[in-house]
């Protein structure tokens, strides 16, 4: 089973959170994002209870974590998506756009299939939670925004979207020279 975990970090603590996630069991990958959340995490486990335990005990305990929200992935066969196991799940990579989709009732399966047919979409998942689907456009914002507006927004059954943009983030080195006057 898979889930996507959204993490809000305390100011200045994104690097600490990302470093801590590397040691958390069940965490496949995490990436810094720009938007309503600070870090997007792909978690896996044999069932939702196991993933929830990891989030509640390991992720919540990381220094710098302020809040989380977990969205379990709905198995493709539950929504009528068949053939080769359904769409690939969204990979967690830097310089990508993570498009969250709210769908009309009963439209999630068809939208997932349509999204998976778009060349620039690297993966799609149907979610439980605030959003019905998550799609990864594996392009930086400057290119991905065009894919979102021109190829995703026109899909019938999409009510609304919201996008998180992943970035290649490393904690900046402290500039000691700017403090040299104090020593």
Residues 35 and 116 in one domain: no
| Residue numbers of the domain that contains 59 | 2-73
Residues 96 and 145 in one domain: yes
Of the ranges 20-29, 45-54, 81-90, which one carries the lowest mean pLDDT score?
Answer: 81-90
The phi, psi pair for 43, rounded to 5°, reads -115, 155
Residues 33 and 85 in one domain: no
Residues 49 and 93 in one domain: no
Residues 83 and 142 in one domain: yes
Q: What string of DSSP letters covers 29-93?
A: EEEEEESS-SEEEEEE-SSHHHHHHHIIIIITTSTTEEEEEEEEEEPGGGGT--STTSSPPPP--
Residues 48 and 119 in one domain: no
8-state DSSP, 15: H
pLDDT in tens, 60-77: 999 999 999 999 999 877
For residue 33, give the CATH number of its domain: 3.30.70.920
Residues 48 and 80 in one domain: no
Residue 181 domain flag = no
The number of domains in the chain is 2
Residues 99 and 141 in one domain: yes
CA distance 31 to 51: 18
Which two structure tokens, joined as six digits, stand for 13? 């603590």
Provide the whole-model pTM: 0.89
Provide the pLDDT for residue 57: 93
Residue 183 domain flag = no
pLDDT in tens, 84-131: 556 789 999 999 999 999 999 999 999 999 999 999 999 999 999 999
């Amino acid at each position: 089973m898979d889930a996507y975990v959204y993490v809000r970090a305390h100011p200045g603590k994104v690097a600490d959170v990302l470093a801590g996630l590397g040691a958390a069991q069940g965490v496949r990958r995490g990436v810094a994002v720009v938007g309503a959340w600070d870090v997007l995490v792909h978690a896996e486990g044999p069932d939702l209870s196991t993933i929830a335990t990891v989030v509640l005990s390991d992720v919540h305990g990381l220094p710098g974590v302020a809040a989380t929200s977990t969205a379990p992935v709905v198995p493709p066969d539950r929504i009528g998506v068949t053939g080769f196991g359904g769409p690939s799940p969204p990979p967690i990579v830097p310089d990508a756009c993570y498009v969250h989709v709210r769908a009309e009732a009963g439209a999630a399966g068809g939208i997932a299939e349509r999204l998976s047919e778009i060349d620039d979409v690297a993966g799609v998942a149907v979610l439980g939670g605030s959003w019905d689907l998550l799609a990864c456009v594996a392009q930086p914002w400057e290119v991905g925004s065009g894919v979102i507006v021109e190829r995703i927004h026109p899909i019938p059954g999409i009510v609304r979207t919201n996008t998180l943009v992943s970035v290649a983030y490393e904690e900046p080195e402290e500039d000691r020279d700017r403090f040299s006057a104090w020593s």
